[in-house]
Structure 1
Amino acid sequence: MEGLLHQRWTLLFAVVPTAIGTALDINLSNASLVFISVTFATMCKSASPIFLLLFAFAFRLENPSIKLLGIIFIISFGVLLTVAKETEFEFWGFVFVMLAAVMSGFRWCMTQLLLQKEAYGLKNPITLMSYVTPMMAVATLILSLVMDPWHDFQTNAYFDSPWHIIRSCILMLIGGSLAFFMVLTEYILISATSAVTVTIAGVVKEAVTIVVAVFYYHDQFTILKGIGLLTIMVGVSLFNWYKYEKLKKSLPNDNEDAVSPTSNGAAKYVILDEMDFQDDDT
């Protein structure tokens, strides 16, 4: 009985930070769009692999190395290029989106641990969602009460008539459903591969987001921003290549199929604490 109670408390202390980190990531990203453009926010959010690496170091998911520090420098330089000479720079928008990038790195590392560490018993992404989502909703409600201008609710153009209320509720339902399935898909992807794979998909998503924002919302896109974005993508690609090469070295030479991107062990982070434990057993 005591062992079961201890396991539940351990799980709670792991799930709560993950839920809060996810809520902060999503809500701070949305809040930043009040101040800055979608293009600028997406470029700044591309810095999340930096914080993914730093938290991976802290949680012993990754060993620090000169190569990884060089990759962090490349991505950081790319972010600086995207921020330089930004004509629509807003301090709070920049702060919010960078905090969201920090929370993104934190929550992906925590999600990796929850889905792949045996002690938590949360290998099923839907089970993890059932734990994380209610706490995420509470955290989002608290953030909304703190950050949103509720005093302007009755005079807001989105809720000033029955038709506007219905339309806004439908839009929120669609957006919420898309966000739910996006997070669930990311969890399924992490359970099968790793946070690295999510980062690869994230680069493609960010590129598509920027293209849509430029052509649909007519966001300003300068040559300097393009160079910065390209630099960020080069840094992320180098990080993914580093992980892939490291995985190939750690696998037996006669097991070539194991390095396939679709295999279950592709480019996973190795939890170093568990690796040390296994070494001690042998």
Structure 2
Amino acid sequence: MEGLLHERWTLPFTVVPTALGTALDVNLSNASLVSISVTFATMCKSGSPIFLLLFAFAFRLEAPSYRLAGIILIISVGILLTVAKETEFEFWGFIFVMLASVMSGFRWSMTQILLQREAYGLKNPFTLMSYVTPVMAVVTLMLSLGLDPWKEFTSNGYFNSIWHVTRSSLLMLFGGALAFCMVLTEYILVSVTSAVTVTVAGVVKEAVTILVAVFYFHDSFTWLKGFGLIIIMVGVSLFNWYKYKKLQKKSSEDKLVDSQSTNVASKYVILEETDEEDSQR
């Protein structure tokens, strides 16, 4: 009973690093778009898989592997090529989006730990979001007070009339609903796979961003962009094959160790827990 009360008391504080990392990732990404274009932000954010891999190694979520590092590098190079030579460099926008990339790697690694460790009792993505969201709201409010030009609130074109206020509010509500569904889907995917898998799958989102920039912002689609997209697809295919072979090998080993197990969960586990199970056996 005492242990249960202790876990309930410490759980909110355990979630704070994840919520803080998520809030910084989202808000710094948005702040960077004030001074840089979507394509340049996408290019810089392509470094997220590299930071995620470093955090995954540090937190023992993934075993260091030259193959895995090579696959992540291939995907990152592909994304860089798709948006190369499209924008001008702006220092603070670059700093904000790179910090967002670091926070992205950190928060997805922490999210996997919270969702997959039994001790935290947060295997339900909705439960995790109920803890993370309040902290994110507070951090977002603090960053908004420090970064946003609130003195221009009533004079800008988005809130200078009742119709503009209504339209802007509806747009923010729609965008917020889409963001909520996206994050919830990512949490569900992390709970049954891994943070690295989510990031690699996220290259589809990057490709869609580039296509929107081409058709809506009229960015040119050059042969370099096409070559970059092909490299991305190759990297994703290699990663899926790598994980498939790894799961096959783990499934075969588990069947040999325990002949009574008929259903082997095809799930990514935290390496520390695997080590503990092996030591108990």
Q: TM class by shorter-chain length?
A: 0.7 to 0.9
Q: 2:43, 2:80 within 8 Å by CA — same for their partners in 1?
A: no
Matches within 5 A, 1:82-93: 85-93=85-93
Distance 2:147 2:235 in 1: 34
1:25 aligned residue:
25
1:144 equivalent to 2:167? Answer: no
List alignment gaps of at least 5 residues for structure 2. Answer: 256-262
Deviation per CA, 1:227-273, whole angstroms, max 9, x where unpaired?
44544554444334322221111112898xxxxxxx9944x432111
2:269 aligned residue:
270
The amino acid that maps onto 1:94 is F
Secondary structure at the residue paired with 2:202? helix
Distance 1:200 1:70 in 2: 13
Q: CA deviation at 1:221?
A: 4.1
Matches within 5 A, 1:178-257: 178-252=178-252
2:108 aligned residue:
108
Q: How has the CA–CA distance of structure 1 residues 200 and 79 changed in structure 2, closer, same or farther, with 3 Å as cutoff?
A: closer
Q: CA deviation at 1:278?
A: 0.5
Matches within 5 A, 1:97-176: 97-176=97-176
Q: 2:62, 2:271 within 8 Å by CA — same for their partners in 1?
A: yes
Secondary structure at the residue paired with 2:27? helix
Q: 2:41, 2:97 within 8 Å by CA — same for their partners in 1?
A: yes
Deviation per CA, 1:82-105, whole angstroms, max 9, x where unpaired?
675444222222222222222112
Deviation per CA, 1:143-162, whole angstroms, max 9, x where unpaired?
11111111211211111111
* TM-score, L = length of structure 2: 0.86
Q: CA deviation at 1:211?
A: 0.7
Distance 1:215 1:31 in 2: 24
List alignment gaps of at least 5 residues for structure 1. Answer: 256-262
Distance 2:189 2:72 in 1: 24
Secondary structure at the residue paired with 2:252? coil
* TM-score, L = length of structure 1: 0.86
Q: 1:14, 1:110 within 8 Å by CA — same for their partners in 2?
A: no
Secondary structure at the residue paired with 1:191? helix
Secondary structure at the residue paired with 1:251? helix
Q: CA deviation at 1:215?
A: 0.5
Distance 2:45 2:185 in 1: 20
How many aligned residue pairs are there? 274
Distance 2:152 2:176 in 1: 22
Question: What percentage of aligned pairs have identical amino acids?
Answer: 76
Q: 1:47, 1:75 within 8 Å by CA — same for their partners in 2?
A: no
Secondary structure at the residue paired with 2:89? coil
The amino acid that maps onto 1:192 is V
Distance 1:152 1:204 in 2: 37
1:66 aligned residue:
66
The amino acid that maps onto 2:122 is L
Q: CA deviation at 1:167?
A: 1.0
The amino acid that maps onto 1:90 is E
Secondary structure at the residue paired with 1:36? coil
The amino acid that maps onto 1:249 is K
Q: CA RMSD in A?
A: 2.6
Q: How has the CA–CA distance of structure 1 residues 174 and 188 changed in structure 2, closer, same or farther, with 3 Å as cutoff?
A: same
Q: How has the CA–CA distance of structure 1 residues 102 and 39 changed in structure 2, closer, same or farther, with 3 Å as cutoff?
A: same
Q: CA deviation at 1:214?
A: 0.7
The amino acid that maps onto 1:95 is I
The amino acid that maps onto 1:278 is E
Q: CA deviation at 1:53?
A: 1.0
The amino acid that maps onto 1:167 is R
Distance 2:247 2:47 in 1: 24
